[in-house]
Amino acid sequence: MMKINKIKEMSSPDLEKEIAELKTELFKLRFSLATNGLDNPMRIKQVKKDIARAKTVLREREIKELQK
């Protein structure tokens, strides 16, 4: 689970890369859940929240840029 402070320290390109990696991980988790089950099904929820946090920080930066 990523902390919001760590996310805010990342640059925008790094955040976009991280989101892509998290989406790939989420796909793999969902696939393994459907096929053979997961050791930790709560991991899906954590990954979804990490994606949402990263997207929120990106959107906040976009809005800040538009207001200048």
25-55: pLDDT as tens digits = 999 999 999 998 888 989 999 999 999 999 9
- What confidence score (pLDDT) does residue 32 get? 93
Write the CB contacts of 30 (distance below 8 Å, at least 6 apart in sequence).
44
DSSP state of 10: S
The per-residue pLDDT for 36 is: 87
Residue written as token pair 């919001």:
4
What pLDDT was estimated at residue 10? Answer: 92
Whether residue 2 contacts residue 50, with contact meaning beta carbons closer than 8 Å, is answered with: yes
Cα separation of 50 and 43, whole Å? Answer: 10
End-to-end CA distance of the chain: 32
Mean pLDDT, rounded, of the chain: 93
Domain boundaries, the chain: 4-67
Q: Does domain 4-67 have CATH number 3.40.50.2300?
A: no
Does the predicted TM-score (pTM) go above 0.75? yes
Q: Averaged over 6-35, what is the pLDDT?
A: 94
